[in-house]
Structure 1
Amino acid sequence: MESDDKTFIACRHCLAKNRVPKARLAEDPVCGRCGHALLPGEPVELSDANFDEVTRHTELPVIVDFWAAWCGPCRMMAPQFERAAAELKGRALFVKVDSDANPCTAQRFQVRSIPTLVKLNRGAEVDRRSGALPAAQIAAFAR
């Protein structure tokens, strides 16, 4: 469904499917229905409730960080994940899923250790990395 000059991005707030011109992806596009930022340049939280709608209906790569608040390596990697999200603003959507609070999604992706990064293409897994990574490696993984 991707056209040559536009791409779809699902809003994590209202789940509307937004068609955004590719030339404007880095210009802070907002949802046409609710007005929230679609690509904020920082990781966004997803849950069991909105994960599938957002990831399946977003045509950009989606980089998922499965983490938990009690996990030391997860907390160490969080600023690195934020840097990578800022670096790739408009080219990928970076999301965080708390594996304790969202066990259905974590279980479906068979997350056995955290942090685990999963790269998705329209909701389908295309790559995975486990363990804390620096921002440069996260950005390379996302490309």
Structure 2
Amino acid sequence: MPSPTIKARTIKCPTCGRANKIPAAAEGAPRCGNCKSPLPWIVDADENEFAEVAEKATPLVVVDLWATWCGPCRMVSPALEQVATELAGKVKLVKVDIDRNPHLAQRFEVQAVPTLLILDKGEPVARRAGAAPAGTLRSWVEQVAAGRRDSERG
């Protein structure tokens, strides 16, 4: 049962345009209530809810460890949201402000921002630092996802 403090976010369906309230923590990837298309799953998380929001999620989780004062972080955020939209139903994007969540920054040994992680069933499986365009980020996520599928078959 999700914590009552975990906020939902409203996402516009890329297929039909309908607004949908997306829970930060849920079973499985969200779908549009109108057309049933997969929705981009983009949420913010803090230290208190990170385990429930990111580590218990079933799709791959892309974690954006960022800071408000960071120019490259502001540049990569729209690219990450584009990737989450393009890969709707396959990934969840969890954004963590490291200044407000220093224990997560310490836990993941953040030395530069933005730091991007990919979690598979709560375990970090890939990491990169710095901003990159959406195409590069999508290729990175897809490469990790392909490796995950190969290991599940293997």
Report TM bin, short chain.
Answer: 0.7 to 0.9
Deviations 1:61-82 (A, max 9, x none): 0000110010011111111111
- Pick closer, same or farther for the CA change 1:27–1:118 going to 2, 3 Å: same
Q: Percent identity?
A: 39
Listed as ranges, the gaps of 5+ residues in structure 1 are 1-9, 30-38
Equivalent residues in 2 for 1:31-50, closer than 5 Å? 40-41=39-40, 43-50=42-49
- Pick closer, same or farther for the CA change 1:134–1:16 going to 2, 3 Å: closer
Paired residues in the alignment total 120
Listed as ranges, the gaps of 5+ residues in structure 2 are 8-22, 143-154
Q: Which runs of 4+ in 1 moved over 3 A?
A: 10-17
One-letter code aligned to 1:117: L
Q: Report the equivalent of 2:118.
A: 119
Q: Which protein, 1 or 2, shows the higher relative CO under an 8 Å CA cutoff with sep ≥ 6?
A: 1
Asked if 2 retains the 8 angstrom alpha-carbon contact of 1:65 and 1:115, the reply is yes
Equivalent residues in 2 for 1:1-143, closer than 5 Å? 12-13=6-7, 18=27, 20=28, 25=29, 27-28=31-32, 40-41=39-40, 43-143=42-142
Taking only aligned residues, the RMSD between alpha carbons, in angstroms, comes to: 2.3
In the alignment, the residues of structure 2 paired with residue 43 and residue 17 of structure 1 have an alpha-carbon distance, to the nearest angstrom, of 12
Instruction: Calculate the TM-score normalised by the size of structure 1.
Output: 0.74
